[in-house]
Amino acid sequence: MNPTTPRLWTVPLLAAAVAYPAFAHSASAVPLVVRGDVVHTMAGPPLADGVVVVEEGKIRAIGPAATTPVPDGAKLLRGAVVTPGLVDAHSVVGLSGYLNQPQDQDQLDPVDAVQPELRAIDAYNPQERLVEWLRGFGVTTIHTGHAPGALVAGQTMVAKLSGDTVEAAVMRPAAMVAVTLGDAARTQGPDADKKSPGTRSKAVAMLRGEFVRTREYLRKRGHTDESKRPDTDLRLEALARVLAREWPLLVTADRSHDIASALRLAEEFGIRVVLDSAAEAYLLADRIRAAGVPVIVHPTMRRAGGGGDTENLSFETAATLRKAGIPIALQSGYESYVPKTRVVLFEAGVAAAHGLTFEQALAAITIDAARIVGVADRVGSLEIGKDGDLAIYDGDPFEYTTHCTGVVIDGVIMSTEPR
């Protein structure tokens, strides 16, 4: 752990007596000053006794408390450790709900194997209880959407854990297209149908066929004779964004040969790929690094289930890939059991105990995660001009006995109840 980070020393939050509703979102007109014994900016070395000044939802100043001017009449929050708001690089929260009942499980549609036209924003529920639950641990941004389990499950999005409407929460309405290569996307035996791949070869062939059809669709759509242009096809329109490199494929693949298939598709069609889970990525580390492909590593504590594609999961996967020079982030992933989500703060803590340094583990759930999901211009580090998203802790964030004692999103105090 970072020796500069104090442990288990609690500083009362001066604003704790003020009540702030869970649905607050609009940037506060009242300036906010957050002071910490240690402030991890993720844009440079930690600051001892630092302050972050937030006005109109943006960071306006940051530096040592002794020399950084603060506005008159500002609200003040104080804690032992201050970090950027945490970024969960892959979740299904907002589509998958805490009740674990059919009415709140919109993360996967089993009707068809290929459905890239399904939009996460059409299913995201910003008032889902799991949103509030994650926020209480300092998570302020999530990359969420359709889950692994279908060849092409649908689109993902990036949202703030604030706002009472999806329009208020969304940062990127469409971020990636979720693809699964491996056993989870295959259907065999009496339950198989002609639309679902029964083998790995069929799965990759189906993907390749969809991209070939998309190329032909784009060619016809550009015809000078309007009467010869094809009708709009939502499936192919979504895949066209992938071919144009506007959206990457988020490829959930754990076996090394499935990872290799994803890399071949990326090279063949010139598309961007982000690997997801990637339990056996260490077997192809040189290839992944050479391809410039980032990895959103499986949750550190994910159940391997005793076999299958995930039998080679390891507490050390994140550290192994980081050491190999591959950009990584950590995630909560898809949890099929209640309470339906993990917490990236805890996943990073375990990764920090198994090879990642404190700074690397914190980066994997802040600035590195923000870069991979395409929102590093706004969140992930504490820098002037970025969104005023902060998490406050009463000790080392990765210690089990530490509490998150304050959460700020866009300069609005969302929580001061210790969790």
Q: CB–CB of 86/140 below 8 Å?
A: yes
- Could you tell me the CA-to-CA distances from 254 to 267, 281, 309, 312 in Å, in that order? 19, 7, 6, 8
Query: What pLDDT shows up at residue 8?
Result: 29
Neighbours of 189 (CB within 10 A): 6
Token reading at 247: 């959206």
Q: What is the mean pLDDT of the chain?
A: 92
Q: CB–CB of 331/297 below 8 Å?
A: yes
Q: CB–CB of 53/60 below 8 Å?
A: yes
Q: Where are the domains of the chain?
A: 1-84+380-419, 87-372
Q: CB–CB of 251/274 below 8 Å?
A: yes
Cα 201 vs. chain centroid, distance in angstroms? Answer: 29
Using alpha carbons only, what angle is made at residue 182 by residues 178 and 188, rounded to the nearest 5 degrees?
115
DSSP secondary-structure letter at 105?
Answer: B
Query: What pLDDT shows up at residue 307?
Result: 74
User: Quick check: 57 pLDDT over 70?
Assistant: yes
**CATH number attached to the domain at 1-84+380-419:** 2.30.40.10
How far apart (Å, rounded) are the C-alpha atoms in residues 392 and 322? 26
pLDDT per residue over 119-175, tens digit each?
999 999 999 999 999 999 999 999 999 999 999 999 999 999 999 999 999 999 999
Mean pLDDT along residues 86-98: 97
Query: What pLDDT shows up at residue 2?
Result: 46
Could you name the CATH architecture of 87-372? Alpha-Beta Barrel (3.20)
pLDDT per residue over 166-186, tens digit each?
999 999 999 999 999 999 998
Query: What pLDDT shows up at residue 70?
Result: 95
Mean pLDDT along residues 57-69: 98
Q: Look at the pTM and tell me if it is higher than 0.75.
A: yes
Query: What pLDDT shows up at residue 305?
Result: 62
**Cβ neighbourhood burial of 157 (10 Å; 0-12, 13-18, 19+):** buried
Mean pLDDT along residues 257-272: 98
Mean pLDDT along residues 286-315: 90
Mean pLDDT along residues 39-44: 98
User: Quick check: 22 pLDDT over 70?
Assistant: no
User: Quick check: 12 pLDDT over 80?
Assistant: no
DSSP 283-330: GGHHHHHHHT--EEEPPTT---TTSGGGTT--TTHHHHHHHTT--EEE
Task: Work out the pLDDT band at 14, boundaries 50, 70, 90.
Answer: very low
Query: What pLDDT shows up at residue 194?
Result: 54
User: Quick check: 374 pLDDT over 70?
Assistant: yes
Q: What percent helix, strand, coil does the chain show, rounded to 5?
A: 25, 25, 50
Least confident of 187-196, 323-332, 361-370, 389-398: 187-196
Query: What pLDDT shows up at residue 339?
Result: 83
pLDDT per residue over 198-251, tens digit each?
999 999 999 999 999 999 999 999 999 999 999 999 999 999 999 999 999 999
